[in-house]
């Protein structure tokens, strides 16, 4: 099993790296779209801090908590509070993590004096009015950042190679996810993307409840399809409470009897799926942090390209392969990060 750091991020915290006074350090304010104990947010934070390690930086931050509270009124209220925090903090750079922070706080500072660096952006920056079409390499304004783009083509090729090596034939790939804004954005992108797969693609209804998700997983077992598992963060129980995603993953590990793809490291490590090409919050944070570092060093944000990390991480869960009786080709074993979940 791969051990990860669990870093809880207070919703408003000042942290000074290296010895020095607050007046001496450059000031960076991080706006998180989600909540402090969400693993993706923790990983983003870790990546940002790693990229800026060794610099004298004063950090401020605020969490919009917009995954557990999806009402527009909630987001509007949190944006107002966050803008007040930023006004008091007076940062040299603002970092916006994921779409909700970027399309609200990032947009509010568009063409303003303070540089903004976004990360984890699933939507198109042009659609949010952050850059003109064709200008991602030279944004020309005060906003740049890192796109979150998943490696669907690579992941399906990976799974197809494994299935062929085991003489397994399937007809369809069932795409399953929660009803979060991030998932809605992803599904829109997938429907419009020229994404070639060896199977038919079935877009299952976005699951709102844990019971609905369970029905979908058990249905996949009955049809013999392979699964594409994306987000499991906003499923609710019968009482309307959010079910912790790792509880959903644990149930999936025990009940899903077909090969599946996943795109979050944590889901793969805990056994929700056989394999995937993962996008890491740490990598997103690190690449964004490198852009911030350049800006603090005197480079204009208008000259720093909007781009994405060059590649994802191939992850294979051997415990899942053993449970499903699937043999893994040697070339995949040699090129993948191998993980084992808690139950074999």
Protein fold of 15-149+281-303: Rossmann fold (3.40.50)
| Calpha distance 245→251 (Å, rounded) | 10
pLDDT digits (tens, 9 = 90+) for 25-74: 899 999 999 999 999 999 999 999 999 999 999 999 999 999 889 899 99
Lowest average pLDDT, out of 111-120, 191-200, 259-268, 294-303, goes to: 191-200
How large is the average pLDDT for residues 257-281? 94
Beta-carbon count within 10 A of 273 CB: 28
pLDDT at residue 111 in the model: 95
* Residue ranges per structural domain of the chain: 15-149+281-303, 152-278+312-339
CB atoms within 10 A of CB 223: 13
What CA–CA distance (Å, rounded) separates 144 from 156?
30
State the Cα–Cα distance between residues 236 and 241, nearest whole angstrom. Answer: 5
Least confident of 188-192, 255-259, 273-277: 188-192
Which DSSP letter does residue 305 get?
P
- One fold for both 15-149+281-303 and 152-278+312-339? yes
Confidence label for 194 from pLDDT (cuts 50, 70 and 90):
confident
The strand ranges marked E within the chain are 15-16, 26-32, 57-63, 93-97, 116-121, 143-147, 172-176, 200-203, 226-229, 260-262, 275-278, 313-317, 337-339
- Looking at residues 319-324, what average pLDDT do you find? 96
Report the pLDDT value the prediction gives residue 133, as an integer from 0 to 100. 94
The per-residue pLDDT for range 87-117, each reduced to its tens digit, is 999 999 999 999 999 999 999 999 999 999 9
Q: How many Å from the N-terminal Cα to the C-terminal Cα in the chain?
A: 11
- Residue 129 is classified by DSSP as T
Region 274-302: what's the mean pLDDT? Answer: 96
Alpha helices in 139-264 (DSSP H): 152-165, 181-192, 210-223, 245-255
Q: Check pLDDT > 50 for residue 13.
A: no
Q: Which two tokens mark 47?
A: 């990546």
Does the pLDDT of residue 16 top 50, yes or no?
Answer: no
Tokens of 35: 């909540």
Q: How far apart are CA 27 and CA 50, in angstroms?
A: 16
Residue 195: the pLDDT is 80
Q: Class for domain 152-278+312-339, per CATH? A: alpha beta
pLDDT at 2 (0 to 100): 42
| CA dist., res. 7 & res. 47, Å (int) | 11
**Sheet containing strand 116-121, strands side by side:** 15-16, 57-63, 26-32, 93-97, 116-121, 143-147
Structure token digits, residue 90: 């007076």
The pLDDT of residue 343 is 54
Q: Which pLDDT score is estimated for 6?
A: 41
Mean pLDDT of the chain: 91
Q: CA-to-CA distance for 64 and 48, rounded, in angstroms?
A: 18
| 236 beta partners | 209, 242
* Cα 19 to the center of its chain, rounded Å: 32
Q: What is the pLDDT of residue 78?
A: 98
Count the Cβ atoms, other than its own, within 10 Å of residue 280: 20
- pLDDT-based confidence at residue 238 (cuts at 50, 70, 90): very high
Q: Is the pLDDT of residue 175 over 60?
A: yes
- Residue 295 to residue 6: CA distance in whole angstroms: 29
Residue 3's pLDDT band (cuts 50, 70, 90)? very low
Tell me what the mean pLDDT of segment 121-147 comes to: 94
d(CA 193, CA 187): 10
What size, in residues, is the chain?
A: 344
Instruction: Output the pLDDT for position 31.
Output: 98
Q: pLDDT band for 182, please (50, 70, 90 cuts).
A: confident
pLDDT score, position 24: 58
Q: What share of the chain is helix, strand, coil (3-state, %, to 5)?
A: 40, 20, 45
Contact by Cβ (8 Å): 118, 287? no
pTM for the full predicted model: 0.82
């Amino acid at each position: 099993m791969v051990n990860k750091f669990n870093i809880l991020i207070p919703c408003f915290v000042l942290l000074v790296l290296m010895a020095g006074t607050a007046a001496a350090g450059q000031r960076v304010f991080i706006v998180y779209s989600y909540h402090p104990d969400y693993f993706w947010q923790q990983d983003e934070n870790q990546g940002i801090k790693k990229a800026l390690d060794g610099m004298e930086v004063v950090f401020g931050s605020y969490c919009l908590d917009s995954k557990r509270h999806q009402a527009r009124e909630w987001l509007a209220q949190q944006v107002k509070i966050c803008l007040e925090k930023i006004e008091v903090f007076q940062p040299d750079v603002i970092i916006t993590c994921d779409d909700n922070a970027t399309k609200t706080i990032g947009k509010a500072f568009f063409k303003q004096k303070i540089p903004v660096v976004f990360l984890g952006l699933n939507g198109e920056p042009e659609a949010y009015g952050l850059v003109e079409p064709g200008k991602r390499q030279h944004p020309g304004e005060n906003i740049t950042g890192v796109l979150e783009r998943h490696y669907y083509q690579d992941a399906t090729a990976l799974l197809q190679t494994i299935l062929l090596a085991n003489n397994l034939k399937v007809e369809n790939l069932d795409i399953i996810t929660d009803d979060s804004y991030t998932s809605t954005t992803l599904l829109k992108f997938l429907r419009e993307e020229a994404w070639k797969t060896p199977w038919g693609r079935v877009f299952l209804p976005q699951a709102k409840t844990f019971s609905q998700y369970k029905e979908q997983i058990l249905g996949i077992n009955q049809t013999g399809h392979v699964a594409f598992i994306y987000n499991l963060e906003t499923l609710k129980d019968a009482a309307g409470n959010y079910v912790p995603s790792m509880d959903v993953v644990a149930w999936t590990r025990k009940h899903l009897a077909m090969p599946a793809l996943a795109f979050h490291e944590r889901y793969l490590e805990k056994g929700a799926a056989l394999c995937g090409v993962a996008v890491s919050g740490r990598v997103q944070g690190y690449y964004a942090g490198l852009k911030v570092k350049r800006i603090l060093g005197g480079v204009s944000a208008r000259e720093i390209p909007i781009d994405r990390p060059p590649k994802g991480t191939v992850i294979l869960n051997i415990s899942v392969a053993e449970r499903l009786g699937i043999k893994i080709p040697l070339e995949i074993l040699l090129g993948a990060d191998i993980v084992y979940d808690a139950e074999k």
